[in-house]
């Protein structure tokens, strides 16, 4: 990377905080219909930013759902890198726990607070600053870039598979570099080499045609909330192991080498416990916390509701209760099979007098892994060590990137996660933030990576 490119990247990074403030101000919550127009505005904002970066052919492509923001630059004959990210964000609830309004970005102590600042708008700002710097100073002739920024990542990318299948020629590429993902910690650079799969299920319990007066019928008829509590309490055993029969059947047992690799990483369980702020850690026995997070499948109840939940009191025996459950999966678990099995288990565990219906929720993702000796991965490690200092760590991800498995299937390309957000930045939670001092190294790293990646894709 030339001194000129570096200087330009620094200049552009200096505008990053202002840019990110604009981007985060747009409440592009894909899960809520009332934010439909905002999602569209975020796509338009991103398209304008890409055009300013010197990217060509920028346009919004219809997907049936929220649009994909597309662009391309570089010689058609060169190896192609697809740059991926998403401009949609998570819902903000519980909104009362935000110290400042989630869509009125606020900077405190060098951190920009706001929904989507870290997932995934800040990392996109880094990528575009770096790419603009490179295009403006030393446009590479050995790599072509195509861009795919989607607007449905936070709802499981429902439109992406059909869209990508239809558009597979346009997006044909040798490698996907994702601006989504995030580094393990702020103190050293890291690259994710695997991510978990996911599936989710909604469970609905019914015990009567409608709520009954608890004075008239309490103690004589089943209560849907009691029944749901029983079903949910039975999903784990007392030790924290998932108690759904067959759940672990297809799980690849971690090898001693994998376990040694994980054990060698600088991770103190007590530090982690304090950092997340819980009284004690929890989960499947027989594995370290990092092994549970990276190598073992998990099951969490994500939401639960039923009966009278407003102010005051209502004396009813509730007739209906509901919950949403999600599973994080590892090789070789098949998300659809796990989902089917979970639904069957839930329905079979209905207490007497309760009708339990379990329904798959759209948006499964397969578990995903990158070969340890993959040349672009080794280059990326070197780039990060130069940009951030320290030794790059190869880590794994408890999270899910449905897109990675999809790109593998549709494009035959691996996805490399190259994001400058950090795991502690409260993704999906109140008071999400992004560290503004990561914008400059982020921009420099993106410029350096794209400048040097061409040769690694020839093999």
Residue 265 or 301 with smaller CB distance to its own copies: 301
Quote the tokens at residue 55.
């990217």
59: Cβ–Cβ under 8 A, 6 or more apart, which residues? 47, 69, 70, 71
CA 287 – CA 267 distance, rounded (Å): 14
In contact, 162 and 64? CB cutoff 8 Å: yes
**Closer residue to its own copies in complex, CB, 307/375:** 307
219-233: buried (b, 16+ CB within 10 Å) or exposed (e) per residue? eeebbbbbbbbebbe
Minimum CB distance to its own copies, residue 93 (Å): 7
Measured from the CB atom, is 206 or 410 closer to its own copies? 206
Other C-beta atoms lying within 10 Å of the C-beta of residue 457: 19
Q: What are residue 328's phi and psi, to 5 degrees?
A: -105, 130
Q: Work out how close the CB of 297 gets to its own copies at its nearest, in angstroms, rounded to a whole number.
A: 8
- With respect to its own copies, which residue has the nearer C-beta, 249 or 275? 275
Cβ 360 to its own copies shortest distance, Å: 11
Rounded to the nearest whole angstrom, what is the least distance from the CB of residue 350 to its own copies in the complex? 10
* Distance from C-alpha of 119 to C-alpha of 400, rounded to nearest angstrom: 13
Residue closer to its own copies (CB basis): 51 or 217: 217
144-150 vs 80-86, strand pairing mode: parallel
Rounded Cα distance between 304 and 324, Å, is 6
| Of 165, 149, 125, 164, the residue nearest 70 (C-alpha) | 149
| Closest CB 173 distance from its own copies, rounded Å | 25
Structure tokens that stand for 7 in this block: 């200087």
> End-to-end CA distance of the chain, in Å?
22
Q: What is the C-alpha separation between 265 and 273, in angstroms, rounded?
A: 16
- In the bound state with its own copies, the residue whose beta carbon lies nearer, of 215 and 256, is 215
CB of 312 to its own copies, least distance (A): 4
Q: Which is nearer to its own copies, 53 or 198 (CB)?
A: 198
Give the position of tokens 């320290």: 390
- Between 144 and 236, CB nearer to its own copies: 236
Beta bridge partners of 328: 198, 298
Report the DSSP beta bridge partners of residue 429.
none
**50 or 395, CB closer to its own copies?**
395
Q: How far is the CB of 274 from its own copies (least distance, A)?
A: 11
Q: How many residues does the chain have?
A: 459
Say if residues 150 and 62 touch (Cβ distance below 8 Å): no
User: What is the smallest separation between the CB atom of 255 and its own copies, expressed in angstroms?
Assistant: 20
Q: Name residues whose C-beta falls within 8 Å of residue 7's C-beta, 6 or more positions apart in sequence.
A: none
The first and second tokens of residue 440, run together, are 């400059």
Q: Show the tokens assigned to 399.
A: 């999270």
Q: Which is nearer to its own copies, 272 or 375 (CB)?
A: 272
Smallest distance, its own copies to C-beta of residue 197, A? 11
Orientation of helix 16-24 relative to helix 3-14, angle to 10°: 50
Minimum distance between the CB of residue 177 and its own copies, rounded to whole angstroms? 20
Q: Which tokens in the block code for residue 44?
A: 């338009």
* Short-list 249, 224, 239, 236, CA closest to 325: 236
CB of 270 to its own copies, least distance (A): 13
- DSSP strand pairing (175-178 vs 80-86): parallel
CB 84 within 8 A of CB 413: no
As measured in angstroms, the least distance from the Cβ of 433 to its own copies is 13
Across the chain, which distance is largest between two alpha carbons, in Å?
A: 81
Of the pair 284, 405, the CB lying nearest its own copies is at: 284
18 vs 282 by CB, closer to its own copies: 282
């Amino acid at each position: 990377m030339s001194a000129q490119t570096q200087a330009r990247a620094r200049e552009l990074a200096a505008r990053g905080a202002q840019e990110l403030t604009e981007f985060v101000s747009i409440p592009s919550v894909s899960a809520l219909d009332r934010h439909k127009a905002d999602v569209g505005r975020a796509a338009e904002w991103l398209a304008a930013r890409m055009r300013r970066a010197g990217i060509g052919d920028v346009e919004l492509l219809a997907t049936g759902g929220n649009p994909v923001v597309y662009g391309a630059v570089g010689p058609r004959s060169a190896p192609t890198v697809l740059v991926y990210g998403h401009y949609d964000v998570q819902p903000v609830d519980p909104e009362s726990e935000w110290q400042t309004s989630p869509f009125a970005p606020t900077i405190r102590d060098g951190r920009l607070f706001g929904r989507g600042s870290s997932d995934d708008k800040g990392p996109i700002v880094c990528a575009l600053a770096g790419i603009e710097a490179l295009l403006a100073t030393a446009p590479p002739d050995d790599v072509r870039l195509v861009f795919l920024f989607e607007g449905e990542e936070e709802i499981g990318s429902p439109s992406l598979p059909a869209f990508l299948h239809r558009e597979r020629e346009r997006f044909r590429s040798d490698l996907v570099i994702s601006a989504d993902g995030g580094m393990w910690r702020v103190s050293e650079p890291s690259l994710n080499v695997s991510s978990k799969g996911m599936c989710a299920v909604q469970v609905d319990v019914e015990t009567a045609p409608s709520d009954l007066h608890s004075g008239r019928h309490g103690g004589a008829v089943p209560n849907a909330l009691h029944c749901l509590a029983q079903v949910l309490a039975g999903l784990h055993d007392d030790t924290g192991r998932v108690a759904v029969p067959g759940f672990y059947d297809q799980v690849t047992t971690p090898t001693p080498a994998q376990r040694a690799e994980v054990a060698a990483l600088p991770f103190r369980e007590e530090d982690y416990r304090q950092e997340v702020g819980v009284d004690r850690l929890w989960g499947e026995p027989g594995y370290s916390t990092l092994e549970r997070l990276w190598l073992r499948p998990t099951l969490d109840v994500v939401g639960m509701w039923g009966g009278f939940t407003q102010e005051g009191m209502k004396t009813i025996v509730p007739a209906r209760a509901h919950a949403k459950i999600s599973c994080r999966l590892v090789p070789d678990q098949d998300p659809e099979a796990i989902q089917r099995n979970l639904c069957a288990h839930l329905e079979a565990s209905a207490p007497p007098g309760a009708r339990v219906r379990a329904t798959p929720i759209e948006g499964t993702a397969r578990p995903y892994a990158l070969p340890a000796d993959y040349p672009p991965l080794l280059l990326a490690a070197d780039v990060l060590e130069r940009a951030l200092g320290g030794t790059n760590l190869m880590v794994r991800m408890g999270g899910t990137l449905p897109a990675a498995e999809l790109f593998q299937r549709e494009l035959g390309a691996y996805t490399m996660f190259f994001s400058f957000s950090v795991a502690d930045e409260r993704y999906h939670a109140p008071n999400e933030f992004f560290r503004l001092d990561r914008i400059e190294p982020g921009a420099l790293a993106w410029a350096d990576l794209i400048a040097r990646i061409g040769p690694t894709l020839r093999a």
